[in-house]
């Protein structure tokens, strides 16, 4: 099927937690992460209770390794739609994959 990017037409995870793996176009040193979500005023339900809140970041050199822990961050549901987080320990290496 085809997905939509309209508010309320999200890509939900089953349960209260999940993982997202991202293959980067080339190996990079990860210093910050930006997470975006619609704001409460943009939501057709005036609530974004299902938005990500607390999330951890792992850098991975290969798709099969456990990964290097880079930090745990908190998305503010009352803040801006796009929030950028500087990682507390950005000098952990160069990675090809990211796991959130």
Residues 60, 38, 53, 50, CA torsion sign? negative
pLDDT at 39 over 70: no
CATH topology assigned to domain 21-99? Jelly Rolls (2.60.120)
User: Residues near 44 by Cβ (< 8 Å), separated by ≥ 6?
Assistant: 7, 8
Tens-digit pLDDT profile for residues 41-96: 666 666 666 667 788 999 999 999 989 999 998 888 788 888 898 988 777 889 99
Tens-digit pLDDT profile for residues 50-62: 667 788 999 999 9
pTM of the model: 0.74
Domain ranges of the chain: 21-99
């Amino acid at each position: 099927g085809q997905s939509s990017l309209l508010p309320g037409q999200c890509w939900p995870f089953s349960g209260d937690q999940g993982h997202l793996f991202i293959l980067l176009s080339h190996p990079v040193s990860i210093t910050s992460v930006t997470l975006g979500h619609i704001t409460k005023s943009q939501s057709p339900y005036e609530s974004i209770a299902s938005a990500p809140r607390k999330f951890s970041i792992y850098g991975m050199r290969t798709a099969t390794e456990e990964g290097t822990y880079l930090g745990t961050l908190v998305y503010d549901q009352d803040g801006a739609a796009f929030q950028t987080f500087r990682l507390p320990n950005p000098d952990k290496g160069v990675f090809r994959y990211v796991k959130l």
